């Protein structure tokens, strides 16, 4: 990877088996309980298409200025350890990113890593003058992983 790409990556340990975590990530319908962007726009419009979950599942959204507009499609999975997603933003600016979730056994639970790689566009380069993509998106990933941890560990009790 050269200077023309960026990567944002965060990890956490969740006290749950890989399969339970994988189930939360591989089904876009379940993202409403943990995605860090769910509360950005209460009027967010969601559209699910393609497969119910796993490869071929598509989630499109359209919302206010902060939520923007775009779509995600699951392009590759390896249960219960990996989910790969093609993420396309239409608004507030156009961008395409690769998302990779990996779930590995760790101790009595699992380590989840959420990574996003994208090409540096004129917009991301301009924003990079003020802040890095890591500083911009990293906190959202941390919030999402914290919510994923809470949701997944709670579902073990239910």
Give the per-residue SS3 of the chain: CCCCEEEEEEEEEECCCHHHHHHHHHCHHHHHHCCCCCCCCCCCEEEEEECCCCCCEEEEEECCCCCCEEEEEEEEEECCCEEEEEEEEEECCCEEEEEEEEEEEECCEEEEEEEEEEECCHHHHHHHHHCCHHHHHHHHHHHHHHHHHHHHHHHHHC
Lowest mean pLDDT across 32-41, 72-81, 87-96, 129-138: 129-138
Residue 129, pLDDT > 50, answer: yes
Lowest mean pLDDT across 1-10, 38-47, 85-94: 1-10
**Which pLDDT value is given to residue 94?**
86
CATH superfamily of 5-157: START domain (3.30.530.20)
The 10s digit of each residue's pLDDT in 33-69 is 999 988 899 899 999 999 999 999 999 999 998 899 9
Chain centroid to Cα 95, Å, comes to 15
Selection from 52, 42, 35, 43 nearest residue 142 by Cα:
35
Give the CB-side neighbour count of residue 20, counting CA atoms within 13 A: 19
Look over the chain and give the mean of its residue pLDDT values, rounded to a whole number: 91
How far is Cα 133 from Cα 12, in angstroms, rounded to an integer?
Answer: 19
Relative to beta strand 45-50, strand 5-14 is: unpaired
Residue 5, pLDDT > 90, answer: no
Lowest mean pLDDT across 94-98, 112-116, 140-144, 145-149: 94-98
**Which pLDDT value is given to residue 1?**
42
């Amino acid at each position: 990877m050269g200077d023309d790409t960026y990567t944002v990556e965060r990890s956490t340990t969740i006290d749950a088996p890989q399969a339970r975590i994988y189930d939360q990530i591989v089904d876009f319908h379940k993202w409403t309980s943990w995605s860090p962007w769910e509360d950005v726009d209460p009027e967010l419009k969601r559209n699910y298409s393609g497969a119910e979950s796993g490869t071929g599942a598509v989630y499109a959204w359209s919302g206010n200025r902060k939520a923007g507009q775009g779509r995600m499609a699951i392009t590759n999975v390896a249960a219960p350890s990996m989910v790969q997603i093609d993420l396309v933003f239409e608004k507030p600016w156009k961008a395409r990113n690769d998302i990779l979730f990996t779930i590995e056994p760790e101790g009595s639970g699992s380590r989840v890593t959420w990574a996003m790689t994208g090409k540096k566009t004129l917009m991301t380069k301009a924003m990079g003058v003020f802040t890095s993509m890591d500083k911009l998106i990293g906190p959202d990933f941390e919030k999402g992983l914290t919510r994923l941890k809470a949701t997944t560990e709670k579902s073990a009790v239910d």
